[in-house]
Amino acid sequence: MTCPTCRQDLPEDARFCSSCGTPCAVAATPVEGGRGVGPTGPLRPKAEQDSSETYRLPSVGADGPALMRRFDVPFVGRLAEQDALDAALSDTVRGARPGLLRVTGEPGIGKTRLVREWLTRRSGSGALGYGAGRCGALGDQGTLTPLADALRTLPPLAPAADRPEDGGPGAGTAYDDAMALLSAGLLRDGAPNAPFEDMCAALTTALGRAARDRPFVLVLDDSHEAAPLLTRTLERLAGDSGPARVLVVCVGRPDGTADTTGCLQLTGLSREDSVRLAGRPALLDGGDGPVDERLLSRAEGNPLHLEQLLVGGRAGGAADGSAAGLPPTLKALLGTRIGALARSERTVLDLAAVIGREFTSVELLLLEASALPAARRGWAAVNVHSPDRTRHLGRIEDVLVALSRRRLVEPVPASGPEAAYRFSSGLVHEVTYASLSERAKADRHAWAAELPRVLRAGDGAVGGHLERAFRYRTELGLLDAGTGLLRSRAATALGRAGAQAAARSDLDRAHSLLERAVGLDPDDAGSVRRLGEVRVALGQTGSGARLLRQVRDMDSATVESAHAGLALAALDPAGPGAGLTATARAVLPVFEAAGDALGRARSHLRLAQHLQQAGRHEEAERDQACALEQAVLAGAEPERAGALGAIGVSLWRGPVPAPEAVARCRALLDAHGEGRPTVRLTLNRPLAVLYALQDRPREAHACLAEARELAGRLRFAEAEVFLPVFRAAVETLLGHAGAALDLLAQAEEAARHAEAGGMRSAVALDAARIELDEGRTRPAAAWIAGVGDAAELSRADAVGLDGLRGRLAAAAGRPVEAADHAERAVRASLLTDSPLVMATAELDRARTLFALGRRAPALASARSAREHFASKGHLPGVRLAAGCVPADEAVGTRTERS
């Protein structure tokens, strides 16, 4: 094959000319797997009489976009490094576990080239599959966009029903959930849009499926620019619970730490390999003869440095033959070469540097054209129409070919008709951008904000260009009306982008965007409030609360002030002020008048929590339903999950009969559970108890099994407390007191480690009740002693505590105290609408009175307990109430007749 531009002979399968970078024709030969070129039949153009045979290219088997570079310079050496990559993959496969390897080195040392060559060699033999993504500046893209780019290369996966060997029952559901969650979040825009544990569980499932037939390598290039959330996600994937046979490879610059664990540090090529690399002059600079020893000495084994020295010419250096006259560093060399470019080449390269690492010829044309009338019309991109467009595009593409020959840019496959290029390395881009004047950067960033691709990328990209334009003009002292307009537009765009990121749980990106927006406009109440909320969510409680107080005290921003006040009340419910419930009640009309769905969801949720704490579940359900409706409208996943969890508890504890509660719980799972493992975990726990109330142990255990499986995938620390409590409740209802006590002991230990005082009180009350029901007063008293202040308990727990103390006092022979506790428990239970709370209080009073020898009132309380249990459909409770007070046959007959 011959290059159509420079006529150099090329291999038949070459995609680009190795000398000038011109794209080459693709041979019309089929490739393995049916992908390649296929005939489409004769094509007769309108202006021609004869037809010609045409072909179509359905797809190109290429690397992921992050690793697509024109690596036509020969690859030499690095055998030991390739062996290290082989060993890391072998360890991962042999141990059936995930792995993590960091490949680090200075710019130009060949990190990406090494990994690309290794992947090509191993994947070509079918030994592995891989996906790749490249990290960028935080704020310019979703935090997890590099991971999304890598996942999009996953091979098509068969439905679970076609693979019964994959994991038994539930495997299909887990995979479907994973793909639904990832499609709605990470794969959509690089944002989690889900709790961290949910997202990691979904990634583990998807990658585990990809690696079931052959190992999978997940490559993240430029990992030194990874956001904290992305780094944390990669560490979770490479941890003990990550997907087996998946190797995560992070390629980036050194992070400055001394820790070399799991790190492959690249150094310069050996002298022999440098000589081999430089000994291919036809591929590098078109010259002949031996390579200048001064170039080898100056490059110090850095392949990019050596390539740039060779392309820049063999002449140079000091007269005495030393390397003293050569630029001392790779950056200095690149700066020298860029500064020596012809004016047309330098102009194009400078415009490209403002656009970014990748760019198209059309974008360069629009940006170039925008500069001409800018003085008259301000900052806005212009369109160039035919016939000038074709002529100017041809001129720019000729310049890009020349720059490609100089190894400063390189062509990349384009998704559209426009010629696409990128800088040959990140360092070339950095040096080019740094060489621009501040005035040039200011003007060109303002124009770039109007480019079609930037507008499609969204407010974050637009705001980034506008922000840079404003800051460069400010540094130049150009504080005119145009600069003020740039500041206002940038703050608005960044604030909108930050709000979107926060709504989709991309907190790192939201923090970066909102912090920049507030820096531009400190008086924007919306951005300040959201920044405060994001900081609180990230654990920066002090600074977040200060920002929230600042917004709360703003009289000019009523809605934002209401949001801030509610957030502060939730942050410190016992702090100064009206309190959480009163605050929620006060701000709800503000949100309703403004049509603020998120504010309404949060207010209704706080009001529902207060009612639920008081045992008024039927009233709480109204607020819970409103909270769920508004959360769905606002697309607020945390509020949706909170409302669904509260509804599940009220269905269990409230007055809705168990059969109806089960049906409603199932309906909620069908409507909201798909793709939301946290929701299914939350609803399956009360659903298991509801099944046990109806003597349906098989269904109860199935719900608990799914909850355990979900908790294991999500790695919820709280599940170590909550899940044993619900399992103990089911075992108690099924009559397995010993198993229930063992589970409660586990819950107590987990709650103690988690410093969850409220849960420890609830566990102690449940354990004390079981011990008393088994006739063991001493251990019951020990559990009761561990209960916290009764004033801090929910009404249901306070009722239970009084009832148990009455029974203990009766057993200890203190009749007045016993009767007082029992009576107080029953009176307090009547303030709730919970049949379970009222039944339990009556049952405790029946047992207390019977222990005091007062049989008749004991039987009356037992009958009341039985009625309450029956109204709920609590079958074990009905049986327990019927037999809690022994009676002779006559008394029993009179009781039944009554």
All residues at 6 or more sequence positions from 693 whose CB lies less than 8 Å from its CB, including other chains? 658, 733, 872, 873, 874, 875, 876, 877
Query: What are the C-alpha distances in Å from 205 to residues 182, 440, 674, 710, 898?
Result: 11, 48, 15, 12, 60
d(CA 124, CA 120): 6
Longest dimension (CA), the chain: 124
Torsional class of 74: left (φ above 0), alpha (ψ -120 to 50), beta (otherwise): beta
pLDDT on residue 143: 84
User: 387: cis peptide before it, omega within 30°?
Assistant: yes
Going by the DSSP 8-state scheme, the letter that residue 513 receives in this structure is: H
Q: What's the token pair of residue 757?
A: 């005082």
Say if CB 691 and CB 700 are below 8 A apart. yes
All residues at 6 or more sequence positions from 34 whose CB lies less than 8 Å from its CB, including other chains? none
Q: What's the token pair of residue 385?
A: 């129409």
All residues at 6 or more sequence positions from 125 whose CB lies less than 8 Å from its CB, including other chains? none
* Element housing 169 (H / E): none
103 forms beta bridges with 251, 264
Q: Which residue type occupies 805?
A: R
How many H helices and E strands in the chain? 42, 10
d(CA 151, CA 231): 16
Say if CB 682 and CB 641 are below 8 A apart. yes
pLDDT on residue 6: 46
d(CA 490, CA 497): 11
pLDDT on residue 285: 44
First to last CA, the chain: 103
Residues of the chain with pLDDT under 70: 1-73, 137-140, 155-173, 256-259, 279-292, 312-326, 371-387, 414-417, 574-575, 715-718, 756-757, 788, 887-898
User: 169: cis peptide before it, omega within 30°?
Assistant: no
pLDDT on residue 179: 83
Say if CB 249 and CB 215 are below 8 A apart. no
Going by the DSSP 8-state scheme, the letter that residue 33 receives in this structure is: G
CB neighbours of residue 43 within 10 Å: 11
